[in-house]
Structure 1
Amino acid sequence: MAKLQYLVIHCTATPEGREVSAADIRRWHTSPIPTGRGWRQVGYTDLFHLDGSVERLVDNNEDGNVDPWEITNGAAGYNSVSRHIVYAGGCDASMRPKDTRTEAQKEALKKYVLDFHAKHPDVRIVGHNQLAAKACPSFDVPQWLQEIGIKA
């Protein structure tokens, strides 16, 4: 068990307007190589659907620790101290990075992050691209956090 240090925001890197299911993510992450990544666990705790609904992918006790059964595979080197969340989208039709969050996703993500921050004010909220050379989550998380009233 480790102290929770990061909330990492991701995108599924799928085209704008395309819904993603929990089954899709499980297949992408846990299917054996070469069809999947061969991971033991999916990469995210929660999935934000296009309609703003939030689906729990991995159980979490919501405390300030990351228990072994809560670890998801979102960012190499950070998984044991992080919670990872993901929104469906993040690419344009040509698969280039684009902030494709629907208004419903933006509202749901804002509510989730504000609630999370109220419970865990010392946990750093970041985009995946702040921990690795990635475009994910295809928007500027520090700027967005300032817009919703959280100092990044």
Structure 2
Amino acid sequence: MNNKLNYLVLHCTATPEGRPVSKDDIIRWHTSPVNQGGRGWNRPGYADLVELDGDLVNIIPFNTDDFVDQWEISNGVVGLNGNSRHIVYAGGMDKENKSPKDTRTKEQLATLEVYVKYTIKRHPKILVLGHNEAPNAHGKACPSFNVGEWLRSIGVTEANIYHKPVVEEKKEEVAATTVETNSNEAEA
């Protein structure tokens, strides 16, 4: 079964600033058994890795059509894996590995820009987002920078920038209004 490629999700490795990360590291972290320090997944979470020097390393091969085949799926975000491509940059934490930080090097920035723009060129309707914007992100900081702001700064149009669904925003407004109304009724 093939699913339409709808999303490009940007991630960080959540490793200290300046620490190199390899394809083998990611495969080990994601696919090693839990009792050996891994996540126990059947495949890594990212299709591609941007190393500190800007080199782009493929982890899970994919073709350039508009569909995500079974063999192309990476485990980047629960609920979005079947219709997404996931790319990760090495870094995302301060040197002490205590706080999220945008650690992208100028080389990583250049590679990410080309990668995003190329992906949009190949898939004009794709939406680009950070892992922290996904519906199931649960308070994650990943990728440790504001993806929408960065995309706008490199000239990506709003049509390709993921926005929180209006339905979710409306639910929050309704909930707030309901609480306020109930409070006012209690006072009356």
What TM-score range do you get, normalising by the shorter chain?
Answer: over 0.9
The 5 Å alignment of 1:1-152 reads 1-34=2-35, 35-95=37-97, 96-131=99-134, 132=137, 133-150=139-156, 151=158, 152=161
Higher RCO (Cα < 8 Å, 6 or more apart): 1
Larger radius of gyration: 2
> Structure 1 residue 119: deviation in Å?
1.0
Provide, for residues 85-138 of structure 1, a one-character-per-residue CA deviation record: whole Å limited to 9, x for no partner: 000000002321000000000000001101111111101100000011210000
Distance in 2 (alpha carbons) for counterparts of 1:93 and 1:121:
37
- Kept in 1, the 8 Å contact 2:18–2:95? The answer is no
TM-score, length basis structure 1: 0.98
Distance in 2 (alpha carbons) for counterparts of 1:67 and 1:134:
27
Question: 1:7 aligns to what SS in structure 2?
Answer: strand
Distance in 1 (alpha carbons) for counterparts of 2:77 and 2:144:
15
Q: Runs of 5+ in structure 2 lacking a partner?
A: 162-188
CA RMSD of aligned residues (A): 0.7
Residue type matched to 2:43 in 1?
Answer: Q
Distance in 2 (alpha carbons) for counterparts of 1:9 and 1:59:
17
Distance in 1 (alpha carbons) for counterparts of 2:57 and 2:10:
15
Distance in 2 (alpha carbons) for counterparts of 1:21 and 1:122:
31
Residue type matched to 2:143 in 1?
Answer: P
Identity %: 55
TM-score, length basis structure 2: 0.80
Residue type matched to 1:2 in 2?
Answer: N
Q: Runs of 5+ in structure 1 lacking a partner?
A: none
What stretches of structure 1 move > 3 A for 4+ residues in a row? none
Q: Which has the higher helix share?
A: 2
Distance in 2 (alpha carbons) for counterparts of 1:21 and 1:118:
28
Number of residue pairs aligned between Structure 1 and Structure 2: 152
